[in-house]
Amino acid sequence: MTRHVQIYDTTLRDGTQAENFNLSVNDKIRISHQLDSFGIDFIEGGWPGSNPQAVEFFRAMQGETLKHARLSAFGSTRLFVNPVEKDVNLQALIEARTPVITIFGKSWDIHVFDALRIELEDNLLIIEESLHYLRPHAESLFYDAEHFFDGFKKNPEYALATLGKAIDGGADCLILCDTNGGMLPQEVQPIIERVQLFIQERGGSVDLGIHAHNDSETAVANSLLALSLGVRQVQGTMNGYGERCGNANLTSIIPALALKMDCDSETVRNIGRLAETSRLVDELANLPANKYQPYVGRSAFAHKGGIHVSAVKRNPLTYEHIDPEKVGNIRRILISDQSGKSNILHKAKKFGINLEGDSPIVAAIVKELKELENQGFQYEGAEASFELLMRRALGTQRNYFQLRAFRAINSKRASDQPPETEATIRLEVGGEEVHTAAMGNGPVNALDNAMRKALIHFYPGLEEVELIDYKVRVLSGEHGTGAKVRVLIESRDQHEQWGTVGVSLNIIEASWQALVDSMNYKLMRDEQRQAK
């Protein structure tokens, strides 16, 4: 029987506590609308009593419309020295004017004594009074039992007593938190079952939730286990961002619920939007996406070994646990020194190149690929360079221009002034020699500018090419600063994005190789589009 699960996203609060993770108010608003359209049930917007930006966000959201999700403000129980009506934190929660309020309280007696520095009975009092005071101001009232699992292990009677006071205060859902992220699944199950029994003994009128952190790499496992035991609400963040090692990763939890556990939620019906939601959060946080992340990472359905590729072509179930399109991802066949004929033929089909499996050209390409990768070339992130390699092997790649010479000069005239860089280049295009020069921010940029300046007269389409990423990796350390390097360049135009590669003992030469491939790929693709 299908069971409904509530998805509670805390990216905008817990997620922003991750190192180097920062969002503006506008970023938070944009993410809120994406989470809403994806089908998230509850969006925790932040702690309105903690900083001015959170206050600004909740004020701005009062003018925004969410179609499905309900916004939650987060805070703590009152300070023991404050009556509820004068507690600044509780007043800030009310002033946020959100349909949902979530507050946390202490479940672990060590926190009551050492953090709050009050007596155990005093803590029970502020839990009940805080929730009771907020109850009229919220359509839904949630209680996060902070450090609940650690507290239960130390003093189970007291941990359960804190939940009893939360029920008395009017909480709709009790969320059990593994705040330190140290619990293992076999520890979680008996504690949840004991809490469920406790709630039944109290009349069974409150829901249970789970809020797990990932310090033991078990946040997703603990969350899924809790849901399998009947817990109704799961809290987490997109891509698992959060303080220290992060929170339970909703981009892993949601597809498991949708595709493996027969659970229902609005996100289940919109599961095809999972990957785009994941990417948007990374983009707005200005953080690189984790390519190895399950379900949504670029490598999640990437196949490299020839045996794997051959099997996947016959039946994807041989090496894929789900269909990648279901979560908005794609299958990728990688090209590397482990590649066999199956990889090459798959890429040829993707590039629109007709190759037969028994063609000697396929064997020649495999041989050349292995030799180049032995030199340090890598084509997994540079498919444009590999397509050009294949077309050169077939003799179908047009030679758009030829290099006659280039030179890059760095000059620094004063210690407190930045260096100046100039590149000059001589190219031959269609029998005509062109000689140009350009300045740039470093030799690679100057060389790029000079090459474009020389070619745009012949190929105006190059003007729209944008270099969006440039990576250098040292391949061997035995020669120190004279070591071989690999340069990967990402480029894009109005139609697509592509990667190219170069390898050399000279970083300028390696960059030149990648730049030439980038321009050649653009010119080839423009020619193909014009021919259609």
Specify the 3-state DSSP secondary structure of 297.
Answer: coil
Q: What is the Cα–Cα distance from 490 to 471, expressed in whole angstroms? A: 9
- Whose tokens are 């009893």? That residue is 164
Whether residue 347 sits in one domain with residue 251: no
The whole-number pLDDT of residue 469 equals 84
Whether residue 102 sits in one domain with residue 188: yes
Position with higher pLDDT, 531 vs 255:
255
Q: How confident is the model at residue 1 (pLDDT cuts 50, 70, 90)?
A: low
Lowest mean pLDDT among 53-57, 345-349, 422-426: 345-349
Whether residue 327 sits in one domain with residue 195: no
Please say which residue of 438, 458, 478 terminates a domain.
458
Whether residue 382 sits in one domain with residue 348: no
Please say which residue of 257, 285, 313 terminates a domain.
285
Q: What is the Cα–Cα distance from 142 to 170, expressed in whole angstroms? A: 9
Surface-to-core class of residue 442, CB atoms within 10 Å of its CB (0-12 exposed, 13-18 middle, 19+ buried): middle
- Whose tokens are 């199956």? That residue is 342
Q: How confident is the model at residue 289 (pLDDT cuts 50, 70, 90)?
A: confident
Query: For 125-145, how does the pLDDT look when each residue is reduced to its tens digit (9 = 90+)?
Result: 999 999 999 999 999 999 999
pLDDT for 478 beyond 70: no
Query: Which structural domain, as residue segments, surrounds residue 357?
Result: 302-375
Lowest mean pLDDT among 1-5, 45-49, 344-348: 344-348
User: For residue 311, what are the contacts with CB-CB under 8 A and spacing of at least 6?
Assistant: 318, 319
In a domain, 388, yes or no: yes
Q: What is the Cα–Cα distance from 504 to 51, expressed in whole angstroms? A: 51
Q: What is the Cα–Cα distance from 89 to 109, expressed in whole angstroms? A: 22
In a domain, 89, yes or no: yes
β-strand pairing of 140-146 with 173-178:
parallel
In a domain, 180, yes or no: yes
Lowest mean pLDDT among 106-115, 343-352, 404-413: 343-352
In a domain, 291, yes or no: no
Query: For 365-399, how does the pLDDT look when each residue is reduced to its tens digit (9 = 90+)?
Result: 888 887 887 788 878 778 899 899 989 888 888 88
The whole-number pLDDT of residue 468 equals 84
The whole-number pLDDT of residue 479 equals 58
- Whose tokens are 């520095």? That residue is 117
Share of the chain above pLDDT 70, in %: 97
pLDDT for 477 beyond 70: no
Residue length of the chain:
532
pLDDT for 483 beyond 90: no
CA-based nearest residue to 386, from 520, 231, 255: 520
Share of the chain above pLDDT 90, in %: 69
Q: How many helices (H) does the chain have, and how many strands (E)?
A: 18, 18
Position with higher pLDDT, 295 vs 289:
295
pLDDT for 274 beyond 60: yes
The whole-number pLDDT of residue 22 equals 92
Across the chain, which distance is largest between two alpha carbons, in Å?
Answer: 91
User: For residue 244, what are the contacts with CB-CB under 8 A and spacing of at least 6?
Assistant: 181, 213, 215
Average pLDDT of the residues of the chain? 92
Query: For 17-70, how does the pLDDT look when each residue is reduced to its tens digit (9 = 90+)?
Result: 999 999 999 999 999 999 999 999 999 999 997 888 999 999 999 999 999 999
Position with higher pLDDT, 485 vs 104:
104
Q: How confident is the model at residue 480 (pLDDT cuts 50, 70, 90)?
A: low
Surface-to-core class of residue 338, CB atoms within 10 Å of its CB (0-12 exposed, 13-18 middle, 19+ buried): middle
Q: How confident is the model at residue 312 (pLDDT cuts 50, 70, 90)?
A: confident
Whether residue 469 sits in one domain with residue 327: no
The whole-number pLDDT of residue 17 equals 95
Whether residue 236 sits in one domain with residue 267: yes
CATH number at 524 reads 3.30.160.340
Query: For 431-464, how does the pLDDT look when each residue is reduced to its tens digit (9 = 90+)?
Result: 999 999 999 988 889 999 999 999 999 999 999 9
In a domain, 406, yes or no: yes
The whole-number pLDDT of residue 336 equals 58
Lowest mean pLDDT among 285-289, 293-297, 476-480, 497-501: 476-480
In a domain, 440, yes or no: yes
Q: How confident is the model at residue 338 (pLDDT cuts 50, 70, 90)?
A: low
Lowest mean pLDDT among 168-177, 284-293, 300-309, 486-495: 300-309
pTM of the model: 0.73
In a domain, 315, yes or no: yes
Whether residue 507 sits in one domain with residue 442: no
Please say which residue of 411, 442, 458 terminates a domain.
458
The whole-number pLDDT of residue 335 equals 63
Whether residue 511 sits in one domain with residue 426: no
Whether residue 469 sits in one domain with residue 449: no
Whether residue 211 sits in one domain with residue 141: yes
pLDDT for 294 beyond 90: yes
- Please state the domain count of the chain: 4
In a domain, 311, yes or no: yes
Whether residue 205 sits in one domain with residue 224: yes
Whether residue 407 sits in one domain with residue 368: no
